[in-house]
Structure 1
Amino acid sequence: MDGEVNETYITLEGHVELDRFRYLYFAVMLAAYVCIVVCNLTIVYVIWTHENLHEPMYVFIAALLLNSVVFSTNIYPKLLSDFLSEKQIISYSACYLQFFLFYSLSGSEFLLLAAMAYDRYVSICKPLQYATIMGRNTVSIYLSLAWLVPASVTGVQVILSSNMKLCRLNLDGVLCNNSIYHMYCVSSKVHIVFGALSVAFIALFSLIFIVFTYSRILIISYRSSKEVRKKAAQTCSPHLLVLISFSCLCAFDVIIARLGSNLTKLIHLIMTLQAVLYHPLLNPIIYGLKMKEISKQLRRLFSQAKVL
């Protein structure tokens, strides 16, 4: 039976003092997961139920928050289960599914932020053409591309990786991210090149595009009236804060992948949890507080709840 398990399952060895702190870990991460789901879906509900929020900017925000919920659901239930289990193991196929969703949804986040930057650029720099350029069909196409392109690219990566020989069945982490590459006997040049190109295509392209669009917004706002500058600050600052938060998530993941073997288990665990904790929690806080219309509708919702 043990031999069968070793062939099929991967051991997650990134947990620190689990016997001592398992219930503390479980309570903290369960509270974080519930908070992520409730806060993100509350804003999605507000956007869905108020017609004045059925504009491209708010549709992209709702898509971004849904993306965060699915991203967290890919990680937290398994993590919570591991905290209470005697053995922290995951099947080979489930590990690749978690890897696929982790990087597919991360890529979608970049493209959604790029679409939001373009939406703000058109709204502020080409206001008379906004309704024509950002029509319903255009928004639907952007949303479809934001989810399908990263899924296709990550799917190819998974297919290339799945046939590679494994020399170890233990993972120096608590989830299946880039750390799985350390399990392979030999690193594939094709896999490395494709991985680098996919990161450049999605992440780097999105970042360059976002920087370009916000630079144009900044230049045009500076030359325009005070009202235009105020509008730019109100609608662009939340997106920039989310971009910075998400870039930190990606930076943590890259550092873990490159320096994983040189990091202590405690530092490895802390960096991994930061990568999956802060961003999904910050998104609804940033949009709930910084976006005037969303904040107004949230206050109404909460005041109605108090009356009931």
Structure 2
Amino acid sequence: MINFTEVSYLTFGAYFDIGHFKYLFFWIIMCFYVAIICANVLLIVVICLNRSLHEPMYIFLCNLFVNELFGSTGLFPFLLVQILSDIHIVSVFFCFLQIFCLYTYVNVQFYNLAVMSYDRYLAICCPLQYNTRMTSNKVCVLIVLTWLFPVIVIVIMISLNASLQLCGNNIDRLNCDNYSLVKLACSDTSVNNIYGLIYSFTVLILVFVIFYTYIRILKVCLSGSKQTRQKAVSTCTPHLASLLNFTFGCFFEVLQSRFNMSSVPIILRIFLSLYFLTCQPIFNPLMYGLNLTKIRIICKSLVLSKITPRFRTGGRMLEAKRPRASVEKAGEV
């Protein structure tokens, strides 16, 4: 029996030799990572610098974008190093660190989406009480809780896993995963399994609560005026799209980790295992940036701010030249 302290590194078995194509994949993922950083940072700056966006909904969105940067940083640099490396190994400590980052990201995502659904419920279903019930102090408390609960939950989970005795060091994945680490254990994992079930059940309840909240919102919207329905639908559509995208991505990940997927092509398995970690950070900025009118208008003004002054200056020069030309023509006549 191998003690946990005797296992100093873990090997990733999902990587395979792709020859010189690894440099192509490296640059593709690098560009994707840079796009994620630029898109999320842009929206964070837009929300922070514009007072018109200092509302609870946009503050929760800013928290969502910060979490996207946190989760992406926990995955993409590691993937880039592993793609270029010939030996796909990592220390046990770093593996637990990556598990902490990725699982915290997933939990913060769900908790933040739950808070955003609650905010939309108050704004649409209880508009007269919104300002009194969603105060600035309450917004700060909710943001702190969206990070505090996940950190506590994941720290407990990692503490339970750190006490396990491992009988191997090979993980058939591209990144560190909690369940894959538990499967390597040769000691009793009953406590870990019970805690994992409670954790999964809690997340499942949270997802159902979010969907129930939006069902209530849709009922109120359908009974209101046409303008109310259009405004509510345009506001809630990005939230629902983000929730569905992330939930289905997590579902595929759970399905792959719990069941034998050897019959599925390895490329598809890799895509499904990384979908919710790679697509969500770029999906959210595009969805919210394109659908929310205030953010879209401010982003356009920021992008075009350096171009429009030139056109305005050129227009003024043309206007200044027109009278002279008309005077000259009048003199000729």
Q: TM-score, normalised by structure 1?
A: 0.94
Q: After the TM superposition, list the runs of 4 or more consecutive aligned residues in structure 1 that deviate by more than 4 angstroms.
A: none
Deviation at 1:264, TM superposition (A): 5.2
Aligned-partner Cα distance in 2 for 1:34–1:196 = 36
Further displaced range: 14-23 or 29-38: 14-23
Aligned-partner Cα distance in 2 for 1:168–1:306 = 59
Q: Which runs of 5+ in 1 are unaligned?
A: 1-5
Aligned-partner Cα distance in 2 for 1:260–1:281 = 29
- The answer on whether the counterparts of 2:165 and 2:186 sit within 8 Å (CA) in structure 1 is yes
Aligned to 1:169: 169
Deviation at 1:107, TM superposition (A): 0.7
The yes-or-no answer on 1:266 pairing with 2:271 is: no
Q: How does 1:183-194 map to 2 (within 5 A)?
A: 183-186=184-187, 188-194=189-195
- The answer on whether the counterparts of 1:105 and 1:147 sit within 8 Å (CA) in structure 2 is no
Residue 110 of structure 2 aligns with an amino acid whose one-letter code is: F
The yes-or-no answer on 1:179 pairing with 2:180 is: yes
Deviation at 1:261, TM superposition (A): 6.3
1:96-122: per-residue Cα shift (whole Å, max 9, x none)?
111111111101100100000010000
The yes-or-no answer on 1:294 pairing with 2:311 is: no
**Identity %, equivalent residues:** 33
Evaluate the alpha carbon distance shift between residue 80 and residue 227 of structure 1 in structure 2; reply closer, same or farther with a 3 A threshold. same
- The answer on whether the counterparts of 2:182 and 2:189 sit within 8 Å (CA) in structure 1 is no
Q: How does 1:251-262 map to 2 (within 5 A)?
A: 251-259=251-259, 262=262
Deviation at 1:186, TM superposition (A): 4.5
Residue 288 of structure 1 aligns with an amino acid whose one-letter code is: G
Aligned to 2:326: none
Q: Secondary structure at the match of 1:283?
A: helix
Aligned-partner Cα distance in 1 for 2:73–2:260 = 24
- The answer on whether the counterparts of 1:18 and 1:83 sit within 8 Å (CA) in structure 2 is no
Q: Secondary structure at the match of 1:74?
A: helix
CA RMSD of aligned residues (A): 1.8
Residue 145 of structure 2 aligns with an amino acid whose one-letter code is: L
- The answer on whether the counterparts of 2:249 and 2:275 sit within 8 Å (CA) in structure 1 is yes
Q: Secondary structure at the match of 1:19?
A: coil
Deviation at 1:123, TM superposition (A): 0.4
Aligned to 1:35: 35
1:153-198: per-residue Cα shift (whole Å, max 9, x none)?
1111100011111111111011012322232224611111111111
Deviation at 1:223, TM superposition (A): 1.2
Aligned-partner Cα distance in 2 for 1:157–1:280 = 25
Q: How does 1:1-308 map to 2 (within 5 A)?
A: 7-177=7-177, 178-186=179-187, 188-201=189-202, 203-259=203-259, 262=262, 265-306=266-307
Aligned-partner Cα distance in 1 for 2:250–2:133 = 31
Aligned-partner Cα distance in 2 for 1:45–1:260 = 44
Evaluate the alpha carbon distance shift between residue 163 and residue 44 of structure 1 in structure 2; reply closer, same or farther with a 3 A threshold. same
Q: Secondary structure at the match of 2:11?
A: strand
Aligned-partner Cα distance in 2 for 1:231–1:267 = 38
Residue 173 of structure 2 aligns with an amino acid whose one-letter code is: G
- The answer on whether the counterparts of 2:290 and 2:296 sit within 8 Å (CA) in structure 1 is yes
Aligned-partner Cα distance in 1 for 2:209–2:276 = 24
Further displaced range: 184-193 or 146-155: 184-193
Residue 290 of structure 1 aligns with an amino acid whose one-letter code is: N
Residue 198 of structure 1 aligns with an amino acid whose one-letter code is: Y
Q: Secondary structure at the match of 1:66?
A: helix
Aligned-partner Cα distance in 1 for 2:90–2:137 = 41
Aligned to 1:3: none
Q: Secondary structure at the match of 2:77?
A: helix
- The answer on whether the counterparts of 1:98 and 1:176 sit within 8 Å (CA) in structure 2 is yes
Deviation at 1:272, TM superposition (A): 2.3
Deviation at 1:66, TM superposition (A): 0.9
- The answer on whether the counterparts of 2:7 and 2:166 sit within 8 Å (CA) in structure 1 is no
Evaluate the alpha carbon distance shift between residue 238 and residue 200 of structure 1 in structure 2; reply closer, same or farther with a 3 A threshold. same
- The answer on whether the counterparts of 1:260 and 1:268 sit within 8 Å (CA) in structure 2 is no
